Structure 1
Amino acid sequence: MTGASQRPGGLRARLALSAALCVLVSGCDLAPRYKPAKFVLPDNWGGSGVMKPANPADDAVRADWWTMLGDPELDRLEEQAMRLNPDLQAQAEQFLQSRDLAMETRSQLYPQLNGGAGGEKYKGSAHRLWRGAGSTGPMYMSSEQYWASATWEPDFWSAIRNRTRMAKQGVQERAAQFASARLSLQAELASDYVMLRGLDAQDAVYKDSIKSYQAAVEITQLRLSGAIAPGMDVSRAQAQLYATQAQETDIRTQRDIMEHAIAVLVNQAPATFHIAPVNTLSFTTVYPPVALPSTLLERRPDIAAAERRMAQANRAIGVSRAAFYPHVTFNAMTGFMDNGFDLASLYNAMYQFGAQAVLPLFQGGLRRADLQRTWSHYRETEDSYRSTVLDAFQEVEDSLTRVNRLKTQVGQDHSAVDAALRTQGMTMALYTGGLTNYLDVVVAQVAALNARIALVQAQTREVDARVQLIRAFGGGWSRAQLPAGEGTIMPFKALQYENLHQAPAAGGISTQTDPASLDLASGAPDAPKPSIPLDTGATHR
């Protein structure tokens, strides 16, 4: 009686122990603890120059950073490119595909259910083999069946979970790559536009010089007609005029090509695209505050993408380790089968169920090789991450140096232009008064033209250097914009069967098709911009 009373309690204890063991085993994560590299960063930038350090709480660069240049035409072009650029939209679709791949990987955690139905009818030949004369055996047979099956793989060693985590981290990597592509597009468009305006300013200088040289030709011709100057002066004046006209033609060619490049960036055919020229560079002279070096790791999307690749490589080690342990699957099948439609009876029921555990015993070092490869790949991604960080620091230092030096160069070029223009005016006055030869005038004209062109080029490069500096700092992007959490990374729920044609936006990335993207004639700059929600999750594990 006592033994009988203890038997249920012992059974319950064994069941509880078995359940606890299953929970423990199912939560066994074989991936090593992920510890991203911690860099010892400098306290400040070496080539700060005219920049001022920003406090950690400052928003060093705005998301629409190009508005700092104060050019409404550039603002319009940037907005149009962000909506319509085909390369950027292709990157957005790749992000969408990565989310679906993550969903496919996670689906393996659930039981796989299948159902089916079938039917067939068979007629045999009356003269088939072994059917004798006068045989009354059946010549017809029909079969109808309905069945359902289930297969489930308990993730004892977290192989599926680690692959799912890898896929989610891949989504975040794709989001960072999209942000990097978007920043590159913004910077390329801004840089091309600045170069275009610089060519406009050079063209204005050449046109102004051409007018001056035409007047000089007239002066030499008048002096020649009065027999107070040789014909060589006229030839020198004409040579200077024609050479300058050829240079102005070359500048216009460069401007047309740059305009074509901008047209493609904003999704418009070059033949239908035109930007009205201007005579001077009129960008606002604003220098963005310099963020601290420690914040660069949070503001550069390429650094975030490299770190996410390292996290995926860490999880891949856990997947390789799981291959050393038994691979367990459960399966079951049930249904009905009969030679007619009378299936709803247990007599016609069929079923099967089973479990399978496979433990690799000897594979010639296959699993060890795979594990060592994943460890090596992790160290490779760690080295690539460090290289990406160093490249980012170099880009910032290079941009800071260019901005600083070009500011000084612009001031020096201003002084050179003033001196050259004074010299040109004095030599022309002396020549008109007959106190010097025309060769001195040509030398002064060449020096003045070169100085003015050098000034415009330095001013253009200075503005472009500020654009590249903003790009080096991440262009207002933040790691907090990466999609985080189940609801933002996964495009739909496991039991969702509607609204699957277009996944909701996540991580500031929209894949909604804009009808204006198909209009290559006008670009539809006034079309409404689709709403893009931003996810601001701050943790990425």
Structure 2
Amino acid sequence: MTGRAVTLRLKRSYLVGLSAGLSLATMLSGCDMAPRYNPTKLTLPAQWEGQSHGVLQSAHPSDDAIRPDWWTLLGDADLNRLEEQAMRLNPTIQAQAEAFMQARDVAMEAKSHLYPQLNGAASGEKYKGSRHRLWRGAGAQGPVYMSSEQYTGTATWEPDFWSAIRNKVRMAKQGTQAEAAAYALARLSLQAELASDYVALRGLDAQDAVYRDSIHYYQAAVQVTKMRLAGAIAPGMDVSRAETQLYTTQAQETEVRARRDVMEHAIAVLVNQAPASFHIAPISQLAFADVEPPVALPSTLLERRPDIAEAERRMAQANRAIGISRAAFYPHVTFNAMTGFMDNGFDLASLSNSMYQFGVQALMPLFQGGLRRAELQRNWSQYREREDLYRATVLDAFQEVEDNLTRTTRLKTEAQQQGNAVTAALRTQTMTMALYTGGLTNYLDAVVAQVAALNARIALVQVQTRAVDARVELIRALGGGWSRAELPQSDKIMPFHPLQYGNLRHAAPLGGITTEGDPAASDLTSGSANMRQPLDISGAHR
């Protein structure tokens, strides 16, 4: 048998072995070392304790209990415009969208290791040796110049025997879903914060209107005391008391204006506007719609809250990490191959200048001083930690719902009671001032009545403001119309396919999340949200 025949037989045997190895790799690649994922089953209450007062009604689980544009329930056109602008231009939301897109790219990076890694290389060198180099004898005819041309292609593939790579891909996909939930949570938080700030601003407007109305009343009272002093039928102390009440109320009104300015600045930042160029015209009284959001059953809260969905996806990630650390105990196998041409000139036509190599490498951890076991134990602990955090998130969510159910129901009753107090206080103020004008009582009684009336009116505005804010917070606690079904599906997460090389600046939108910026985002000096109508306090109490 010739040497060439032996070589061909050895090559054929090696290829048969390589094919068998690849077949075995394909069969073993289905081994998943991650434990079966069983999310924590929580026993939940059948109804909300805060609904026992009968103010709110339950919605069926299949109902869209709260609309995604839930703030429209408040019936304020200015708030609607502000929310729309914030959703388009707020930089925090846009940054969160970029974090989601980066998570998609991380998933693509993990998936790329399932494919063979192909590389090409080309090199060329030219060398010159010294004619008088060591051991070059006199009269030597060996070459002094040498050139080399080399063109190679390499391929490396790691068969995923123990699903370590697949589990990394699944982890990355679950991380992307968690980022999508974080994006939804950021949107909901922004919507609720903007609505709460706007409600607080309008509450300060209503307080300012009350103070202005009271200032007009106190200015008239000062004139009455001065006229009585001029007629020698009242002491100068009455004038001093009336002026003290007037100036104190003016100072309180100035404080309310300062707080309003600060709240307006906060709203400006939320809608991507510089505070110096942003203004919302004041109003005279609260005018929000008196609506109550339908409240779904407690069991549906797990599907409605984006923070709960994020915590659950983090827990699923930790479960997959256990499979990756388990796979580290088994052999790590890599197939590699290289082929190409090398010559002292550009000559690819000659097969005699070709070269190749192929092989298999298996790396088996034998003793590492407990490194792998420590990693596995740590991943189990991290999974239990995520499980505990998930349960804590659910408990916090239930507390927020119960708190705001209680606030909504109690504040509605409190507003009615405070309204009765305002009616009585205004009646007392009117009667006391009439008695004083007629000389039947002293001005101290009038001051006491005035203070009581002003405090009652301010307290009523504050209770009404808190009641509206409680509804906003209740909607936020219920998920703000979000549903877990909005999370991106696992098979649609990848931002591009392996052979796509164009349109990579922005990934295609997914789940309503896009990184395509709005050109108006760079304009911080003006916006459609500016509202500059004049103040109207015609509806204020006199």
Query: TM-score by structure 2 length?
Result: 0.93
Q: What is the match of residue 259 of structure 1? A: 264
The residue aligned with 1:493 is 497
Q: CA separation in 2, counterparts of 1:116 and 1:390?
A: 58
Paired residue for 2:10?
none
Instruction: Give the aligned partner of residue 111 of structure 1.
Output: 116
- Measure the CA separation in 2 of the matches of 1:345 and 1:97: 47
Instruction: State the alpha-carbon separation in 1 of the partners of residues 475 and 370 from structure 2.
Output: 51
Task: State how far apart, in whole Å, the 2-side matches of 1:469 and 1:398 are.
Answer: 8
- The equivalent position to 1:341 in structure 2, one of 332, 339, 346, is 346
Matched, 1:271 2:284: no
> CA shift at 1:174, angstroms?
0.2
Q: Aligned partner of 2:46: which letter?
A: D
The corresponding residue for 1:35 is 38
User: 173-182 vs 115-124, which deviates more?
Assistant: 115-124
Offset from partner CA, 1:501-534 (integer Å, 9 cap, x none):
11011122111111111100013569xxxxxxxx
Who is 1:5 aligned against?
Answer: none
1:43-101 per-residue CA deviation (whole Å, 9 max, x = no partner) reads 10001231101112211100000000000100000000001101111111000000000
1:393-472 to 2 correspondences below 5 Å: 393-472=398-477
Does the aligned pair in 2 maintain the 1:516–1:524 contact within 8 Å?
no
Superposed CA offset, 1:429-452 (max 9, x none): 000000000000000000000000
Aligned to 2:79: 74
Equivalent residue, structure 1, for 2:301: 296
Bigger mean CA deviation after superposition, 360-369 or 417-426: 360-369
**85, 92, 95: which is aligned to 2:97?**
92
For residues 100-152 of structure 1, the C-alpha deviation after alignment (integer angstroms, 9 at most, x for no partner) is 00000000000000001111111222332223333322111111111000000
C-alpha displacement at 1:16, in angstroms? 11
Distance 2:315 2:308 in 1: 11
In 1, Cα distance between the equivalents of 2:61 and 2:197? 32
Secondary structure in structure 2 of the residue aligned to 1:454: helix
| Residue pair 1:334, 1:349 contacting (<8 A) in 2 also | yes
Aligned mates of 2:241, 2:22 — CA distance in 1: 101
The reply to whether residue 392 of structure 1 matches residue 384 of structure 2 is no
Change (3 A) 1:506 1:243: same
- For 1:44, the aligned partner's letter is Q
Residue 40 of structure 1: CA displacement?
Answer: 1.0
**Out of 52, 55, 59, which is 2:64 matched to?**
59
Distance in 2 (alpha carbons) for counterparts of 1:332 and 1:523: 61
**2:26–2:159 Cα contact (<8 Å) kept:** no
1:353 aligns with 2:363: no
Q: CA deviation at 1:366?
A: 1.0
What are the Cα deviations for residues 249-277 of structure 1, in whole angstroms up to 9, with x where unaligned?
Answer: 00000000000000000010000000000
Counterpart of 1:364, as a letter, is: G
CA–CA separation in structure 1 for the residues paired with 2:490 and 2:320:
18
**C-alpha distance 73-96 of structure 1, shift in aligned 2 (>3 A):** same
Q: Aligned with 2:59: secondary structure? A: coil
Q: How does 1:132-531 map to 2 (within 5 A)?
A: 132-486=137-491, 488-523=492-527
Which deviates more, 171-180 or 125-134?
125-134
| CA drift at 1:186 | 0.3
Deviations 1:186-224 (A, max 9, x none): 000000000000000000000000000000000000000
Q: Give the stretch that moved more between structures: 336-345 or 74-83.
A: 336-345
Q: Distance in 2 between matches of 1:140 and 1:178?
A: 64
155 and 367 in structure 1: CA distance in 2 versus 1, 3 angstrom threshold: same
Alpha-carbon spacing, 1:456–1:285, altered in 2? closer, same or farther (3 Å) = same
- In the TM superposition, residue 367 of structure 1 has moved relative to its aligned partner by 1.0
Letter in 2 for 1:505: P
Query: Given residue 40 of structure 1, which amino acid in structure 2 is its aligned partner?
Result: T
| Structure 1 residue runs without a partner (length 5+) | 1-13, 527-541
Question: Is the Cα contact below 8 Å between 1:336 and 1:344 reproduced in 2?
Answer: no
RMSD: 1.5
Superposed, which structure 2 residues align to 1:16-31 within 5 Å? 22-31=25-34
Identity %: 74
**Equivalent position amino acid for 2:197 in 1:** D
Deviation of the 1:344 alpha carbon: 2.0
Per-residue deviation, 1:17: 9.3
How many residues align structurally? 512
Counterparts of 1:275 and 1:96 in 2: how far apart (Å)?
35
Write the distance in 2 (CA, Å) between the matches of 1:191 and 1:167.
Answer: 35
- Report the equivalent of 2:536: none
State the 1:469 CA deviation: 0.1
Question: 168-177 or 503-512, which moves further after superposition?
Answer: 503-512
In the TM superposition, what is the alpha-carbon distance from 1:479 to its structure 2 partner? 0.2
Partner SS, residue 151 of structure 1: strand
Q: From 78, 83, 92, give the equivalent of 2:88.
A: 83
Distance of aligned partners of 1:15 and 1:490 in 2 relative to their CA distance in 1, 3 Å threshold: closer
- The letter of the residue matching 1:464 is D
- In the other structure, the counterpart of 2:6 is none
1:525–1:460 distance in 2 versus 1, CA, 3 Å: closer
Q: Structure 1 residues 154, 18: CA separation in 2 closer, same or farther (over 3 Å shift)?
A: closer
Paired letter, 1:388: T
Q: Aligned with 2:253: secondary structure? A: helix
SS in 1 for 2:155: strand
- Equivalent position amino acid for 1:520 in 2: L
Residue in 2 that maps onto 1:531: none
Contact 2:173 2:490 in 1 (8 A): no
> Secondary structure of 2:175's partner?
helix
SS of 1:155's equivalent? coil
